[in-house]
Structure 1
Amino acid sequence: MDLSGWVDVYLDHLRVERALAPLTLDAYGHDLAQFVAHAETNGVTRAEQLDATVVGTYLVSAGKQGLGARSAARHLSAVRGLARFLLRERVIEVDPCALVERPKIGRRLPRVLGVEDILAILDAPDATSFRGVRDRAMLQVMYASGLRVSEVVRLKVGDIDRRKGVVMAHGKGDKRRLVPLGEPALAALDDYLALRAAHPRAVSTSALFLSPRGGPLTRQAIWKLLTGYARAKGITKPSSPHKLRHSFATHLLEGGADIRTVQTLLGHADVATTEVYTHLADDHVRAAYRKAHPRA
């Protein structure tokens, strides 16, 4: 089997055995297609021919074409995943990525919204209309739980346990986790679910947050309504669903939550992914110190 064929087998493995999301699979497929094209241009058409030179020249070539360090690291991650799969399947005996260094990426701290801005956005939807009640409940849930927007669009009515006060999130790789919801979010959900039960399109879907057509809201729709509410409240900082998630994590740490708890709530597999928020929380502590300490 040629290299291109093994890439297809690997993508099937990711789809079936690891249950990766379609968008993630598309990204892997795109990156690996570019790698295969580079390899074939350099006379490497079979997986057995892969070596560190092919991988290294691929990254150099991508850099010359304007690929940034972060994107290059993502491409290398895709190739490394393929190499590990080929090793497991005993197609190759040596890892061609073993000697290839990961591109150095500067730390980029996520931008967050202040508590006052968050509260203003949560208060923005019109509480007298179905859409407004729905949006208020959704925004409350997003800030109370830190769910990814992809997790929000997948929520079903049955994912809310009102008695226990939790939401079941369906994360990456279909991993599930329970996240507690505060009373404001639960109260907003109660108001919304009462209206949803009487909605004529509710009988045809189990989606929690209904679109005008009766299906689940899309990620693009959620992004659009959130930015609209931010503008309506005069908030000039960039606002997005992921900003709510960043703000959720940062505000928890500023309030004294430990990093392992925040990692669990966010659904991060590696605590290193969560640690970026500690730098933001440290900034908050330093600012408070400078403001309060007489000798700061």
Structure 2
Amino acid sequence: MEKEIASFILYLHNVKKTSENTEMSYKRDLAKVKNFMEEQGVVDVQKITVTNLNSYVLYLEKNNFKAATVSRNIASIKAFYHFMHKEGIVKEDISEALKAPKIEKKLPEIMSTEEVVRLLEQPRGSSSKEIRDKAMLELLYATGIRVTELISLKVHDVNLQMGFIMCRDSNKERVIPFGAEARSALLRYLENARNTMIHGSDSDILFTNCSGQPMSRQGFWKLIKHYAKKAGITADITPHTLRHSFAAHLVENGADLRSVQEMLGHSDISTTQVYANMNHNRIREVYAKAHPRG
């Protein structure tokens, strides 16, 4: 099964142009399937049966994996089998018989505008690191991009004069505007801090760590946790919380869903619809509290 998994990952990379994180996620999920099948004495992928696959799903459920995790694993198996069937490695796609568990859709956690302001005001020093941190936080909230997209930005992806960034997601590109606060923070960073951060190298990465190397996701995750704590925010804040907050605040203030969808890079507008639902819920709450006959 190892050879087939390697071929599948290569297909994702070369044909589907998936991100490294997506490929790693598939690889992890399928490695677990491989290990489970080997423990059952099944080493040939062509000898795996529907019963074997259902046993694996049952194993996940019995070991108290969350419904979302089980669903993701099933999606990985289905994608893998679709590839193998298409390539003629297996005669039939037995994964079609698998059914994902129902997932209770949770509304994303968002910050209030006051919390966002408190967070963004935390890097207020004049050191190169704090100037960089301020620019990163401002740009993240101003554009709603993913943390991977943020740390992958190149200097030439930023147009300060026109106020937009060019964001690349696998083989797609999208232009996202940003406002005056983010522009000011970026300008200060580029003029006063970036050369110090890159130590005079010819790096084209927009944001680097203190050693002049590209910043990691974990590095930025720690950064945002640090400033959330300084801001007195007790909720569990992650980089994605700012992305959700960006979208929710735009919709709350009248932005149309299609525009928000385009800025977020969602392929399906139903993914963006959740922010409109959040806004409807908030309006209902306000009505119930304020209306004399609510």
Whether these two folds match at TM > 0.5 is: yes
1:132 to 130, 136, 141: 130
Secondary structure of 1:169 counterpart: strand
Q: Which runs of structure 2 are paired with 1:65-80 in the superposition (5 Å)?
A: 65-80=63-78
Alignment-derived partner of residue 54 in structure 1: 52
Query: After superposition, what is the alpha-carbon deviation per residue over 1:155-193, rounded to whole angstroms, capped at 9, x for unaligned?
Result: 11111012321111222x343211111121112111111
- Given that residues 263 and 274 in structure 1 are in contact (C-alpha distance below 8 angstroms), is that contact kept between their aligned partners in structure 2? yes
* Aligned twin of 2:177: 180
Contact kept? 1:51, 1:95, Cα under 8 Å? no
For 2:261, the equivalent position in structure 1 comes to: 263
Partner of 2:191: 194
Q: What residue in structure 1 maps to residue 241 of structure 2?
A: 243
Contact 2:138–2:181, Cα closer than 8 Å, also in 1: yes
Q: Is the 8 A contact 1:144 1:248 kept in 2?
A: yes
Amino acid at match of 1:288: V
Which of 27, 30, 37 is equivalent to 1:29?
27
Runs of 5+ in structure 2 lacking a partner?
A: none
**Amino acid in the other structure paired with 2:101:** P
Matched, 1:150 2:148: yes
Q: Matched residues in 2 for 1:133 and 1:209: separation? A: 11
Q: Partners in 2 of 1:202 and 1:159 — Cα distance? A: 20
Q: Are 1:10 and 2:40 counterparts?
A: no
Whether the 8 Å CA contact 1:254–1:284 is kept in 2: the answer is: no
Q: Are 2:119 and 1:117 aligned? A: no
1:36-47 counterparts in 2 under 5 A?
A: 36-47=34-45
Per-residue deviation, residues 38-60 of structure 1 (Å, max 9, x unmatched)? 33444543333344222212101
Alpha-carbon distance in structure 2 between the residues aligned to 1:37 and 1:129: 49
Asked if structure 1 preserves the Cα contact closer than 8 Å seen for 2:123 and 2:133, the reply is yes
TM-score (norm 2): 0.92
Q: Distance in 2 between matches of 1:87 and 1:252?
A: 43
Sort the Cα spacing of 1:41 and 1:238 in 2 relative to 1 into closer, same or farther, 3 A: closer
Partner Cα distance (1:203, 1:39) in 2: 49
Report the counterpart of residue 211 of structure 2 in structure 1. 213
Structure 2 counterpart of 1:16, one-letter code: N
Native 8 Å contact 1:51 1:97 kept in 2: no
Which amino acid is the alignment partner of residue 191 of structure 2? A
Structure 1 unaligned runs (5+)? none
- CA shift, 1:221, in A, is 2.0
* Structure 2 counterpart of 1:176, one-letter code: E
The answer (yes or no) to whether the contact 2:129–2:193 under 8 Å persists in 1 is no
Give the SS at the match of 2:97: coil
Any idea what the Cα deviations from partners look like across 1:18-76, whole Å, max 9, x if unmatched?
23333322221121122123334445433333442222121012222332211111111
Aligned position for 2:277: 279
Report the Cα distance in structure 2 between the residues aligned to 1:229 and 1:248, rounded to whole angstroms.
Answer: 18
Q: CA RMSD in A?
A: 2.0
Indicate if the aligned counterparts of 1:170 and 1:177 stay in contact, CA closer than 8 A: yes
Q: CA deviation at 1:209?
A: 1.5
- Percent identity over the alignment is 33
Structure 1 residue 291: Cα displacement: 4.4
Separation (CA, whole Å) in 1 of partners of 2:224 and 2:27:
31
Q: CA 1:186–1:66 in structure 2 vs 1: closer, same or farther (change >3 Å)?
A: same
Mapped to 2, the partners of 1:41 and 1:224 lie a distance apart of: 38
**1:88 alignment counterpart:** 86
Residue 128 of structure 1 and its aligned partner are, at CA, apart by 2.3
From the superposition, tell whether residues 229 and 40 of structure 1 become closer, same or farther in structure 2 (CA, over 3 Å): closer
Tell me how far 1:270 sits from its aligned partner.
Answer: 2.2
Matching residue's letter, 1:94: E
- Determine helix, strand or coil for the equivalent of 2:176: strand
Q: How much does 1:242 deviate?
A: 1.0
Q: Give the match's secondary structure for 2:18.
A: coil
Q: CA deviation at 1:240?
A: 1.7
